[in-house]
Amino acid sequence: MILRPGAPDDFEKILAWRNSPLAIQYSKSGRALTREDGIKTYGDALSRMDSSRRVLIPCLDPATPIGYLRFDIGAEGNCAEVSIALDAKFQGQGHGTEALKKGCAHAFAHYGVERITAVVMGANEVSVKAFTNAGFACIQNETDFSTYELKRDRRHGKTGE
Ligand SMILES: CC(C)(COP(=O)(O)OP(=O)(O)OC[C@H]1O[C@@H](n2cnc3c(N)ncnc32)[C@H](O)[C@@H]1OP(=O)(O)O)[C@@H](O)C(=O)NCCC(=O)NCCS
């Protein structure tokens, strides 16, 4: 798997991945993202005009993008919240776990963050497992959504990715 930065041409695919039935079901809003909101959320990030939001595209090879990772970097700059969605046909094959591991290593190496959090619905068992497999630990357990955290360690700093 390779990860590349998202680009404007990825917008339609990202909107489709974000609006797949499972991604909607497990999203914080529980609703599809409108095109207008999608442009607000991803437009500047994909054009690299918004340094507080980064999008990475995991690809099996350069011609096969399989989903996206989004990192929202907080105002203080030391923490990012990550979200992820894969194309349904690439789910359940270990790619989500690998994308999270590689994407977070990239974020620690290049975005200047010390910790990465994720808000995951408890019912989303596959996602909970993928984040746990990638080294995240639950730091706040709520009824619906729980918060997971991965801290930067020296290994991330040394290896980069
Ligand atoms: C969540 C998501 C990114 C996980 O990626 P993935 O590639 O499907 O997951 P993986 O193949 O890495 O599997 C992670 C774990 O779930 C298990 N798993 C995967 N698919 C499964 C399924 N259909 N049923 C039961 N377990 C499953 C795997 O065996 C693995 O567990 P293990 O470590 O015990 O073996 C992906 O499924 C997805 O995009 N889902 C829709 C959007 C979404 O929910 N995003 C996350 C919002 S927080």
pLDDT digits (tens, 9 = 90+) for 62-91: 999 999 999 999 999 999 999 999 999 999
pLDDT of residue 153: 85
How would you list the strands of the sheet with 115-121, edge to edge? 2-5, 53-59, 67-73, 79-86, 115-121, 145-151, 137-140
Name the CA radius of gyration of the chain, rounded: 15
Q: Does ligand 1 have an atom closer than 6 angstroms to the CB of 92?
A: yes
pTM of the model: 0.95
Tell whether the torsion through CA atoms of 16, 18, 20 and 24 is positive or negative.
Answer: negative
pLDDT digits (tens, 9 = 90+) for 122-150: 999 999 999 999 999 999 999 899 999 99
The whole-number average pLDDT for the span 5-25 is 97
CA of residue 75 to ligand 1 center, whole Å = 30
Q: Is the pLDDT of residue 155 over 80?
A: no
Q: Considering only CA atoms, which residue is closest to atom 48 of ligand 1?
A: 120
pLDDT of residue 160: 43
pLDDT digits (tens, 9 = 90+) for 30-51: 999 999 999 999 999 999 999 8
CA distances from 57 to 106, 135, 143 (A): 12, 20, 31
Helix (H, G, I), strand (E, B) or coil at 148: strand
Can you say whether residue 143 is alpha, beta or left, with left for phi > 0 and alpha for psi between -120 and 50 degrees? alpha
Question: What atom of ligand 1 comes closest to residue 119's alpha carbon?
Answer: 48
- Asked if 25 and 80 touch (Cβ cutoff 8 Å), the reply is no
**Superfamily the domain 2-115 falls into:** Gcn5-related N-acetyltransferase (GNAT) (3.40.630.30)
